[in-house]
Amino acid sequence: MKNSSLHDRGVINRYRPYLPVTEETPVVSLNEGSTPLIHSPWLSEIVGRGSEVYIKYEGLNPTGSFKDRGMTVAVSKALERGARFVICASTGNTSAAAAAYAARGGLSCAVLLPHGKIASGKLLQAFLYGAKIISLRGNFDDALNIVRQFSENPDVEIVNSINPFRIEGQKTAAFEVVDVLGNAPSLHLLPVGNAGNITAHWRGYREYHSAGKCDTLPHMIGFQAFGSAPLVLGHIVEEPDTIASAIRIGNPASWKPALTAISESHGLIDTVTDAEIITAQVQLASKEGIFVEPASAASIAGLLKYFCKSPHNRHRSLLVEGARIVCTVTGHGLKDPHTPAAIGMHLIESEATLSSVSNILEMK
């Protein structure tokens, strides 16, 4: 393609040598990836010790979340082997990405969603992209259990992160961080639900390290919502609960590889409460102009809770002087307009006159 820069070609074309594709693979892409890595003066100041904090804004992918990186690879490979349907269980974002890439690739798509627990923007996306939406009387873990049982059907491709191509695509987020910073950060913080993304990032960093693209590796730091924290508790949570519906998962599919990523990287996983998540979401928007969905704010909530200047800070010992810290924010705020609105929006009504508006603004 003429006049196309490296940054508008999607993750398969940009990172082809690192991905399980060949010249024969039909590339189904919406130019995902190349999301901005935004410096945060606010968080850098709060953390202190000369650190620089960056936000990897994954909400700027084509369907508004990081899931597009894995979905381009999973759907391309499904098409290559001749599958006709893609199916997934989802807390919302996977279903939006699956439906969009299936539409793009000419495949049918079915999504199994926990009834009443999907943010409205995500539901609307799956619907408009043309997926068959099944609203399940059960939670995400029930939905994934059903989806797993389609694995023997050759017409069907499961596009949850139990599909290894999903993890392969998602590792490109780590590549992009290194490509921008020139090396790996010292800490990489992520929200954790099904635990595929933290697994994928660690794989990405390790592969780039082996390829000589970076000479350090980050500590991988994960945060789960307090009511949905099986990895922190060390056991399945039968009835997971959190306001952050995207990470309302009690039995993560990538449980073991996520724990491996955390232990190999000398990282950690901990919890943040719903109140801390919402506070972080609101502050990130009002202080830095970055609007993310509640689940995404878990990485910011974790940074504020455990790494800031405070005597109680139990994880601050991981901070070296001048650390570069990356927080992934996984999904766009517009996907879930109701959750933050529930905290109360303050609108000021005015007559449609200049004097009324000026009065309110206390301007002459």
- Kindly list the residues in this chain that would bind ligand AN7 in the complex (CB under 6 A): 65, 90-94, 191-197, 246-247, 293, 295-296, 330-331
Closest CA to 37 of 286, 336, 305, 324: 324
Distance separating the N- and C-terminal Cα atoms of the chain: 56
Q: Where are the alpha helices (DSSP H) in 159-238?
A: 164-170, 172-181, 196-210, 230-233
Please tell me the distance from the alpha carbon of residue 30 to that of residue 164, in angstroms, as a whole number.
20
Written as six digits, the tokens of 331 are 């999904």
Closest CA to 15 of 158, 162, 199, 174: 174
In the complex with ligand AN7, the residue whose CB is nearer, 51 or 63, is 63
Cβ at position 27, least distance to ligand AN7 in Å: 23
In the complex with ligand AN7, the residue whose CB is nearer, 177 or 323, is 177
Please tell me the distance from the alpha carbon of residue 346 to that of residue 83, in angstroms, as a whole number.
50
Cβ at position 191, least distance to ligand AN7 in Å: 4
Cβ at position 212, least distance to ligand AN7 in Å: 27
In the complex with ligand AN7, the residue whose CB is nearer, 22 or 149, is 149
In the complex with ligand AN7, the residue whose CB is nearer, 44 or 90, is 90
Residue found under tokens 């990470």: 247
What are the residues whose beta carbons fall under 8 Å from the beta carbon of 114, sequence distance 6 or more? 91, 136, 138, 139, 140, 142, 143, 248
Cβ at position 245, least distance to ligand AN7 in Å: 9
Cβ at position 312, least distance to ligand AN7 in Å: 26
Exposure of 267 in the CB half-sphere (CA atoms within 13 A): 28
In the complex with ligand AN7, the residue whose CB is nearer, 198 or 323, is 198
In the complex with ligand AN7, the residue whose CB is nearer, 12 or 99, is 99
Closest CA to 196 of 227, 164, 174, 224: 164
Report whether 40 contacts 55 (CB < 8 A). Answer: yes
Cβ at position 64, least distance to ligand AN7 in Å: 9
Cβ at position 307, least distance to ligand AN7 in Å: 19
In the complex with ligand AN7, the residue whose CB is nearer, 71 or 187, is 71
Q: Could you tell me the CA-to-CA distances from 340 to 234, 243, 285, 297 in Å, in that order?
A: 30, 10, 11, 12
